[in-house]
Structure 1
Amino acid sequence: MLLKIKDRFIKQIPITAKVTLWYTFFIGILLAAILTSLFFISDIILTNVSQQELITSVNKIAIRPSKFESYDDGIFFLKYDARGRKLGGITPAGFFDNARFSPNKVNIQQKRHNKFFYYDMKLRGEHGNWVRGVFPVTKIANIFKYILFILSVMSPFLLFLIIYGGYKIIKNGFKPVEKISSTAMKIKENRDFSKRIDIGYGKDEIHKMAKSFNSMLDTLENSYLHEKQFSSDVSHELRTPISVIMAESSYGVEHVETVEEARESFAVIHRQSKRMTELLTQIMELTKLEEKERVPKEKFNISEMIEDIESDFVKLSQEKNILLTSDIESNVFIYGNQLLLERVIYNLLTNAFKFTKDKIKISLKSYSHLNCCIIEVEDNGIGIPKSEQSKIWDRFYQVEQSRNKNKNQGYGLGLSIVSTILKLHNGKIELQSIPNQQTIFKIILPIENM
């Protein structure tokens, strides 16, 4: 139970506080270890350094007696003759200078609280005179201990400054994380998938994480927009057939008296139900295509594909008294999805037949040019007004003239599907149309795999 409460408490602590506590703990231990080590090894360090400095200084004077000084850099120098009589120099307070000559060895003199190192050497060229260097260890040790004491007293304040400065640095470093969290919460509350995380430019891990979040949000937004578009399309387009079905059903229940009248009502209901099924199939197909970023492709002979499609429309052209001509270059190979590209040609030819009057010509051309495959579907029917040409690729858009809904019942999705499939193939489609004269849909597909 206590462990669960502890875990719950720890999980509630902000990550900035956790990181600050952890590094404070380690810095505190490190600082304590350093101070403790200094206290224990200070005497060793002081002894080694001061003795080496004492030997070096005395050697310099012994070699060059003319450089003799009574005091230099914390060391006192005394000059004696061969009998031990003092010839010059300053004796430090507390030091008894009646010590015997003891050359080439660091000696220690300690009286009560005073401790000294001294070192003797004969002076070169002075017939038995010698020099003694005296280093007052106690004074320097006291200074050193005072410094350690000051450090010990100041260490809590130093630790506080380190903690405070570190906390500020960590908090500032985690600001992008707070921004990421805040943006995610806003998206959740408002369901606004258009928001993005803006933390500026950077190449560290947090900026990489923000970039990954933005990529994920792009995917979510696209999925959300497709879902929203699908719901809007379905509700918009199904409203009319459902209303017709409900009206016809109500009429059948209330007014139909004969089998013939019932058959007529059933025919209307069947026709509208079929329309709903076809409409839903096309909407779902378009939605799936729009969600894809790429489709499987393979190399195939598009010339043979177009020739096969042409043969499928020969009988229909004869029934509608339409002249269908073709000019297809042989053996043009491209990389693409054959099933989807068949759908493109079928849609364009179906439109051409649907919106063309009797005794009208439809032409199908295919050829290669500048590493591209060009496919043209041309008819000399009613055409498309200039003002409508940019809109025909939109969902459910239909031209409001005889290329229209009255005679040719369509859903306005065919050209949207064509445009989407071509985008997946890095291709494009161009339209040239003169009302009541000519319409040409020109498809441009790259031959190489891209």
Structure 2
Amino acid sequence: MKIKTKILVWYGLSFFILIAVYMLITLFTASTFIQRNATTTIKHETEEIAQELTIEDDGRVYYKDDDEDETFRYLYDNIIYVIYKDDVVFSGEIPGSIQNDLALQAYEVQTYESNQSTWLIYDVPVDQTYTLRAFYSTSESSNIFNQVLLWMLIFSPIFVLVSLSGGYVIIKQAFKPIHTMTKTALEITHEQHYDTRIAIQDNKDEVTLLASTINQMLDSIEKAIEREQSFTTNVSHELRTPLSVLRAQIEYLKSKNNDHALYKDFDDILKQLSVLENLVSQLLEWVRTKHIQVVSFEDMDAVLVLQTLIESFEPQASQKHIQIDYVHDLDSLTIQTEVASFVRIFTNLISNAIKYTEPNGHIVLTMKQVKQSLIVEVKDNGIGMSQASIDKAFDPFFRADPSREQQDSLGIGLSITKNLVERLNGTIIIKSQLKQGTTVTVTLPISQ
């Protein structure tokens, strides 16, 4: 799971949990709060009205509000009032859902449950004869609370979605430089464009600092690669000149020397010089294939070129009594490629197959077209490689085991081949088992 997704999931769950806990707490405490608030209200209002209430002998009831006397209305602030005289209703009407069977209890809040609502009842004596009874329903407060709770349930998901959307935008912007860094790193890895750098934004944050640090590291790597390339190239060129001079001098001395007993010594020296010259040539070629880009592509008949290559290797294969078969079902196949690189790729592969196949062995080169790709397999029944060797086969200067070591080889043939395949926008895969053989599969695009 991506970090962005983890953050969004975490905060989404956190929001939902917080809202759920808040609503549960509100739900469990609301009834207590409503009850307490209603009790305070009915006691305060009823006691205040009882102090200002005037009851005449003719039955008229007045309530002194501020400085004016007015007729008692029996309903104030949603509280219904009834006046009792000697435990009998004297004035006012009891709510219809309440039975008139509750005894008067001065200054005691009583609770009455009906089918419709819950009532609080509070009695306050006006004088020795009259008592003011108050009826206050908590249903309205409960309904208001239920409406608030319902709206919370409706708007909570919307709030969470809006918060997550805003968080996603912020996180996306924050991770955008990291995405750019990843893309740049992949480009450098696959394309080996070591001069590529990460675009740095103006934000002075940790990600920008990281990008700047990586760019500095890439500068150091590029300079190290340039030094390596320059050193390898210069050394190779510098070695070729003295080797050529040595060869010329030894050949001259051999031609002037009449002692035939020394001819073998001269031949051994010349043979070792040939090995050194070959190693220097391989080193130069490896540097070129690693750093020189493709010049141009041109049309080429892959069937014909591979047939010609196989024919050129037949004398070498015949010396070891190795049979080479060319399997294909195409008369011709024109592809766009760099001919020199194409020829060098399969020259290396066929040469390796012959080199590491035992006498009387068998090599099969299979060519086929799959959609817009050319697939060529070079399969032998030679000594094969272990899995550990396959993993390192394309590393320069790697030689699998002592049985494969060649005095005139640097172990860079497959590394050069891989560089050439990648220059042609292709892929190369090795499958092998010890003592059973090796199969190398090259896939190239037909048109570039």
Give TM-score, length-normalised by structure 1: 0.45
TM-score where L is the length of structure 2? 0.45
